[in-house]
Amino acid sequence: MGVSTMLLFASCSQREFDLNPGGSTSNEQNKEQGSLVLNLNASTNFAETRSLNEADYRNTQYYDVKVINASTDNVILECKAYQLATNLPKTVDIGSYRIEASYGKEYDASRSDFYMFGSEVVTVKAKEEKAVTVNCTPTCGKISVAWDASMSTYYDEYNVTFGGTKKLGAKTLAWSKTDSEPWYVALDKEGETVSYTINLTTKEAYLPKDASTNTGTATGTFTLERNKAHKLTIRPNYIETTDGGMKLTITIDDSTNDHNITWEVPVTWI
C-alpha cells in the first residue's frame, strides 16, 4: 500500500549554498539555475497490528525532507513535507542534489515504531524544472509467531527467541506461549539471516524413552528482507514410536509473497 503526494519546494528552512566556495567570479551573481519538484511516496507491505497503526507511515505530510548538495553534503533546504505544498517550485543552482525523506525512528527492534527512508540523486540543468520521485519504505522487517492450539497438549511451557541481526548483536527477542505481537527488526539493505530457538518443557507422557530431562530446544534460521513480514506458525508433530518421536512443524508465512515454507525440526533434549 502506498500514498503519493506532489510537493513543490518553497519557503522552509533554507540554507545559502555557494557552488564555488573557493572564491568569487564576475558571474557569481548571475548563476544559471533550474528548479526542483518532488513527488513523495510511502509504502509498507505490513498488515495492521494492535500496537501500531501502520497507515500512519503511509501519510507523507509529516515526513522530514532534505535537499542536499551531492558534492559537498551541504543541506540547502530542510523542513516537514507539508511545508513544501505551495504553488512555486524550488529554484536551485545547476548541479547534482540528493533528496532524502524520512519518518519515524529506527530501533534495533521495536513493537511500537519503525523507520521509513527514501533517497534519490538528481542533476539539475540550466532552466530545467526537474521532477524527482522519492520512494520511502521501511528499513526493517517484521517477525511474528503463532502457536498452534495443540502445543498445550504436549508441552507445559514453551517460548521462542529470535536474534542474529547486526543491530541486535547479542540481544534476542522473545515470545512467551501467550504472546503473538510482532517485532519490527532493523535490517541491512540486502536483508539478513535471522536465527530462532524454540524452548520446550514437555509433558512426561510424551518424553523420549531415554530422556534425562523434560527440557528441549528446536533451532533454525530464515532470511528476512526489508519491508517483508514473516510469521512462524509452530505446531507439534508427535509420532508415537519406541524411542519417543517428538518433532515440531514450522510454517513460515511470508505475507508479502503469500508463500508458505514448512519443515520439521527435531527437538534436542538437554
Grid coordinates representing 108? 534495533
pLDDT at 87: 40
pLDDT at 264: 59
CATH number, domain 2-138, options 2.60.40, 3.90.550, 1.10.3470, 2.30.30: 2.60.40
Is the separation of the CB atoms in 250 and 220 below 8 Å? yes
pLDDT at 270: 59
pLDDT at 85: 66
What pTM was computed for the model?
A: 0.80
Q: Which residues have C-beta within 8 Å of that of residue 249, sequence separation ≥ 6?
A: 234, 235, 236, 237, 262, 263, 264, 265
pLDDT at 178: 93
155-163 vs 192-202, strand pairing mode: antiparallel
Distances (CA, A) of 266 to 177, 200, 216, 260: 19, 12, 10, 20
Domain with CATH 2.60.40 in the chain: 2-138, 140-269
In this structure, CATH architecture of domain 140-269: Sandwich (2.60)
Is the separation of the CB atoms in 202 and 155 below 8 Å? yes
pLDDT at 103: 96
Distance CA(37)–CA(91), nearest Å, equals 9
pLDDT at 231: 86
pLDDT digits (tens, 9 = 90+) for 202-256: 888 887 777 778 888 888 899 999 999 888 888 887 776 545 556 677 777 765 5
Stretches in the chain below the pLDDT threshold 50:
6, 8-11, 15-28, 87-88, 242, 257-259
pLDDT at 20: 38
Is the separation of the CB atoms in 231 and 253 below 8 Å? yes
